[in-house]
Amino acid sequence: MDTTGEQHRLTTDHEPRSRDKDGEHFVLTLLTESLAQEKLGRLSEVLAQHGFRVQRSRPLTQIDGACTCLEFVIEGDPEALSNLRAVLLELSNAAGMDLALRAERHDYRYFRLAVFDMDSTLIEAEVIDELAKEMGVGDEVASVTAAAMRGELDFQRSFRKRVALLKGLSETRLVAVAERILLTSGAERLFRVLKRLAIKTAVCSGGFTFMGERLRQRLGLDYIYANDLEIKDGVVTGDVPSDVVDGNRKAELVKDIAAREGIRLDQVIAVGDGANDLPMINLAGMGVAFRAKPVVRASAKYSISHGGLDTLLYLIGLHEDEIRAAESDSRGC
């Protein structure tokens, strides 16, 4: 579909897009760093094999950009969606591209809340691993973190074990670590647009509140839930003074926030990378595995492995021109 000269206007009403007379369609989003014709050919074969037809398509990003994103509106039997999703996951892994399938009406005007994991999702590090390096126990803590993220260890127990190894870390060194940790690429752009769309934002993290509060100030988060790192006399005690925010707690927090805001769970986007994110990912209407561990990618209905965090905007149906218009509006507020 040629979009040259097309005007893309951002609307924030909550009504679904109009649907064709022959019934509800589905949207398939393709994201890749290298768009080869054989990828499109293989995708066409998979759709045909499962009885789906492409009704129309459009590029959501510039074809000569760092990443290419294409959107296809497809029609087929809703009962075949589950099998199609499974095959698309296999194709995504084999062909080096992200493929996301959603109902056509579930676009950016449908979702009202976006909830994010923090470490290795909103930021480019696991904070507890960085703190451990400061204490000289980096390898030991990193191995426990990796096992927990893969779902091989109970998160509550592993978290307390790792925090205990931080005993004696000075508050000064803790602040220094926080200042050198980078936001994930695309995070600031994503949050500017989400704010323009009046989508509430939250962090539900198994990390630490001191880092979450820094993100609240920088990104304008509406909610932040994480773990307190107890400090006495200017040093970390190694104790965890409250209940740990684990996977089950994350899901409960999502429910609480949604209820408080009067938002249905199918209007929630949840984004994370580790096994402890799966409860909230599976609870949300759009659960997204972002640069995630294999077990998370296999369980989530949506996955982003290419591009930055702002590629989430393409998954909810925004064109590049609409994103730029929203950014411009948000800066002018």
SS3 241: coil
Taking alpha carbons only, the member of 166, 102, 89, 98 closest to residue 129 is 166
The answer to whether 119 is a known catalytic residue is yes
**Which uninterrupted H or E stretch holds 83?**
helix 81-95
Question: Is 32:306 a contact under the CB 8 Å cutoff?
Answer: yes
The encoded tokens of residue 304 equal: 């982003």
Taking alpha carbons only, the member of 107, 90, 104 closest to residue 50 is 90
Cα-flanking dihedrals φ and ψ of residue 255, to 5°? -60, -45
The answer to whether 233 is a known catalytic residue is no
Q: Based on the number of CB atoms within 10 Å of its own CB, is 252 exposed (0-12), middle (13-18) or buried (19 or more)? A: middle
The encoded tokens of residue 271 equal: 């984004």
Angle 138-149/155-164 helices, nearest 10 degrees?
A: 170
Taking alpha carbons only, the member of 108, 92, 78 closest to residue 14 is 108
The encoded tokens of residue 227 equal: 């773990």
**Which uninterrupted H or E stretch holds 277?**
none
Residue 86: how many other CB atoms lie within 10 Å = 11
Q: Based on the number of CB atoms within 10 Å of its own CB, is 203 exposed (0-12), middle (13-18) or buried (19 or more)? A: buried
Task: End-to-end CA distance of the chain: give it in Å, rounded.
Answer: 34
The vertex-190 CA angle with 309 and 117, nearest 5°, equals 55
Q: Which of 20, 98, 107, 119 is catalytic?
A: 119
Q: Which of 117, 246, 273, 277 is catalytic?
A: 117
The encoded tokens of residue 216 equal: 């609240």
Cα-flanking dihedrals φ and ψ of residue 2, to 5°? -80, 120
Q: Which residues are catalytic?
A: 117, 119
